[in-house]
Structure 1
Amino acid sequence: MALSNPYQSYQQNSVNTASPGDLTLMLYNGCLKFITLGKKAMETGNIQEKNNNLLKAQNIIHELMVTLNMDVAVSKDLLALYDYLNRQLIEANLKNDSAILDEVTEFVTDFRNTWKEAIQLNRQKQFTQSGQA
């Protein structure tokens, strides 16, 4: 099935060709986007749009939770943090509390920035090793 929208085609191709690390980065960015949209909808009183966007953010957090490699020790800590963020998104949605969304945004931004730095360090390491071969 061909996608008629060139941007949609580009997005689909980006996802299909991204490394696992880049996919995780995309998830963090998407989560931040949907939290921001949910917060804006909350401020304008658009309950349906707020709910839809915060549910999308929750779905992304859930995806991050189920893709954790539980054989890695840090994954247990991440699972607990992701669970907390998911519960906070639910709470913010129910109570129309933008302060909770600010807290979640801060956590997700920190995760995203740390992940982005790890990807960059890994790429530098791979580049250095390939140059020595």
Structure 2
Amino acid sequence: MANPYAAKQQAYQNNAVNTASPGELTLMLYNGCLKFIRHAKKAMNEKNYETKNTNIQKAQRIIQELMVTMDPESDISDQVMPLYDYINRRLMEANIENDPEILDEASELVTEFRDTWKEVIQITRQQQYGQGGNA
């Protein structure tokens, strides 16, 4: 029997993704990456290595997606790309070594990116909508 709540939640999530701006989608990616790292750490602590592996790979795919979608011509790409690469390598090492401290490090870096990105979105909204009445 299908769970009607789960179906509604999935529809809501699909709608959120379909109506999100590129900036909001990036924020969703950061949040998803953090969620997968949390799940991986929990699985690692429970010695559930298959689930740990699956979640770390999902986090890595998000970081890789952020890497391939970054505009190489943007000024910030030279600074951000090596950090994404570092996070991706640390996730791989955490997976191989079963080291929750490496996951913590990766999580901290992704959290910094996410929090910075949130600020960028807020500033952009303020510039777009906050000054609209002054024109």
Class of the TM-score when normalised by the shorter of the 2 chains:
over 0.9
TM-score relative to the length of structure 1: 0.95
1:24 aligns to 2:40 (yes or no): no
User: 2:70: which partner in 1?
Assistant: 68
List 4+ stretches of structure 1 deviating above 6 A.
Answer: none
Q: Which residue of 2 aligns with 1:118?
A: 120
Partner Cα distance (1:93, 1:69) in 2: 29
Give the whole-Å Cα distance in 2 for the aligned partners of 1:76 and 1:39: 30
Give the one of 94, 97, 111 matched to 2:96: 94
Counterpart of 1:73 in 2: which secondary structure?
Answer: coil
Q: Pick the aligned partner of 2:39 from 37, 40, 51.
A: 37
Shift of 1:59: 0.4
The alignment yields a C-alpha RMSD, in angstroms, of: 0.9
Structure 2, gaps ≥5 residues long: none
Q: 1:19, 1:57 → 2: CA distance?
A: 21
Task: Supply the AA of the counterpart residue of 1:104.
Answer: A
User: Which residue does the alignment assign to 2:51?
Assistant: 49
Distance 1:121 1:73 in 2: 19
Instruction: Summarize deviations over 1:95-124 as a string: whole Å, max 9, x none.
Output: 000010010011000000000011001101
